Amino acid sequence: MKYETVIGLEIHAQLLTESKIFCGCSTKFGAAPNTNICPVCTGQPGVLPVLNKKVIEFAIKTGLALKGSVAKRSIFARKNYFYPDLPKNYQISMYELPLIVGGHMDITVDGKPKHVGITRIHLEEDAGKLVHQGAAGLKGSTGSRVDFNRTGVPLMEIVTEPDIRSPEEAKVFMQELRNLLVYLGVCDGNMEEGSLRCDANVSIRKIGQRELGTKTEVKNMNSFKSVQKALESEIKRQTEMLESGERIVQETRLFDDTTGTTTPMRSKEEAHDYRYFPEPDLVPIEPDKKWVDEIAKTITELPSAKKEKYIKEFGLPEMNASILTSNKNMSDFFDEALKIDPTLALGSSNMLIGEVSAYCNDNKKDISETSLRPDHLIEILKGIDAGVISRTSAKKVIIKVMDTGENVKDIISESGATQISDEKELLNIISDVISNNTKSVADYMSGKENALFFLMGQVMKATKGRANPEVLKKLLIKQIKK
């Protein structure tokens, strides 16, 4: 490959505070239009912003988790531009002096460690939402209305260094970052609903070249998949341009998920002059060390530390630990199960990343939205160990519990999922199988081990999978050799 890709990301995360960044209005999503509003967030004449302390706390928490440093003094600025969804026609945002400076996140891509630097983290207010009537967009609509419910919802912008070298790395970084934010409880991480958004600065350069190539900014990537797809398409476009001797133009491009391509939105020349200047209605933020230390204490175990612990203390395979910690609710669930019976760590983790995850994916549910509880899981695992149910039927049981939340014992007895360990009951069936499959019996006798599994399978079939495999194997061999 002739070119190297250079990517930097700008991630906007809506913070999970109860109230907006500069007024007391609720941040709740999905309320009727213009119901979570007040004089301040609708930009009435004479109003003033008052900073929500929780917003600073959340950003500091994120900054510390990303190993950044909290600025001794940061200030808000005004970013001036006219748009009807912006009631003051300026956005209050941090500019020259952000709250968090520096930091990094270490990720693993294709088994290789990767260090991604964080440039800064700053805060700003979200804008409202325009609703165009009679059409999907402004074009062709009969009228436009504005909903200010989202106006003033706190946004945290995380800017990375141009350290990312591939769309895959970008995707993994986004996944890991989302996971971290959810762990910290500062963002719900929902990309589809827009509470986590990502823009990318992309350029390519000849391998070995030191200066960066001309970059484009890619916007509108609404899922992890589209982050990867958008970047792949943009890199392909840039590569083809350079190959054919064209120059790349610095511009902002919009990704279209349906076509899988990016199209120009505005050029550098069309870029706004935002006329930033310090917001005179707010005072500088100077967090004292004591407060920062208190916030640091609220950072509970982060995914990377948890993964380490699962591997070292509970002997989980790397893959299990990795999958579990990539979903906060899943690993919280696992932690609860560990509290009940730490000896079942491996079994629990297998069940969670296997049957449980499959069920969740199929039903598009989070584990917290199913009826399964940690004690259910442990009871089922104990049932397997005690030989009460087979692995195969355990799978059915756990699905039923997730659906209904019914008592594990009841499900097992109702479904007849109890394992058959009774030798007399099994012997009858084994005798039938042996007499109906003389060829396989002969094969086994002549040393073909696989024939035994075929015969066991036949017994399983006849018992609908309820035969205790260990008892069955022993009895079967005994009967054949008789």
Partner 1 sequence: MELFELTAHELHAKLDKRETSAEEIVKSVLGRISRVENKVSAFMTVNIDEAITKAKEIDEYIASGKKITPLTGIPIAVKDNMCTKGILTTASSKILRNYIPPYNATVVEKILQAGAIPIGKTNLDEFAMGSSTENSAYKVTKNPWNLGTVPGGSSGGSAACIAADEAILAFGSDTGGSIRQPASFCGVVGLKPTYGRVSRYGLIAFASSLDQIGPLTKDVTDAAIFLNVMAGHDPKDSTSVDLPVPDYRKSLIDDVKNLKIGVIKELLGEGIGSGVKKSILEAAELLKKLGAKMEEVSMPTLKYGVATYYLLATAEASSNLERYDGVKYGHRSSEADDLLAMYYNTRREGFGPEVKRRIMLGTYALSAGYYDAYYLKAQKVRTLIKNDFEKAFSKFDCLISPTAPSPAFKIGEKTDDPLSMYLSDIATIPVNLAGIPAISIPCGFVNDLPVGLQIIGKAFSEEMLFRVAYAYEQNTEWHKRKPKL
Q: Which residues bind partner 1 (CB under 8 A)?
A: 39, 42-51, 78, 80, 82, 84, 87-90, 146, 273, 275-277, 280-283
Considering the complex, state which of residue 90 and residue 334 has its C-beta at the smaller distance from partner 1: 90
Rounded CA gap, 154 and 10, in Å?
16
Q: How far is the CB of 34 from partner 1 (least distance, A)?
A: 11
Considering the complex, state which of residue 285 and residue 411 has its C-beta at the smaller distance from partner 1: 285
Considering the complex, state which of residue 38 and residue 299 has its C-beta at the smaller distance from partner 1: 38
Q: How far is the CB of 279 from partner 1 (least distance, A)?
A: 8
Rounded CA gap, 156 and 145, in Å?
26
Considering the complex, state which of residue 144 and residue 261 has its C-beta at the smaller distance from partner 1: 144
Phi, psi dihedrals of residue 234, rounded to the nearest 5°:
-70, -40
Q: How far is the CB of 395 from partner 1 (least distance, A)?
A: 58
Considering the complex, state which of residue 82 and residue 211 has its C-beta at the smaller distance from partner 1: 82
Q: How far is the CB of 204 from partner 1 (least distance, A)?
A: 28
Considering the complex, state which of residue 17 and residue 52 has its C-beta at the smaller distance from partner 1: 52
Task: For the beta carbon of residue 135, count every other beta carbon within 10 angstroms.
Answer: 11
Q: How far is the CB of 217 from partner 1 (least distance, A)?
A: 18
Rounded CA gap, 33 and 53, in Å?
26
Q: How far is the CB of 250 from partner 1 (least distance, A)?
A: 16
* 3-class DSSP state of 9: strand
Q: How far is the CB of 151 from partner 1 (least distance, A)?
A: 11
477: its two tokens = 């061999």
Q: How far is the CB of 57 from partner 1 (least distance, A)?
A: 17
Contact 149, 35 (CB under 8 A): yes
Our separate counts of H helices and E strands in the chain read 16, 15
Considering the complex, state which of residue 89 and residue 450 has its C-beta at the smaller distance from partner 1: 89
CA distances from 430 to 387, 457, 458 (A): 19, 11, 9
Contact 7, 228 (CB under 8 A): no
Helices of type H across 109-223: 167-184
* 3-class DSSP state of 416: coil
Closest residue by Cα to residue 7 from 159, 224, 208: 159
Q: How far is the CB of 140 from partner 1 (least distance, A)?
A: 14
Region of 338 please: left (phi>0), alpha (psi -120 to 50) or beta: alpha
Rounded CA gap, 244 and 171, in Å?
29
Rounded CA gap, 215 and 204, in Å?
8
Region of 464 please: left (phi>0), alpha (psi -120 to 50) or beta: left
Rounded CA gap, 412 and 180, in Å?
38
Considering the complex, state which of residue 52 and residue 468 has its C-beta at the smaller distance from partner 1: 52
Rounded CA gap, 393 and 419, in Å?
9
Considering the complex, state which of residue 78 and residue 307 has its C-beta at the smaller distance from partner 1: 78
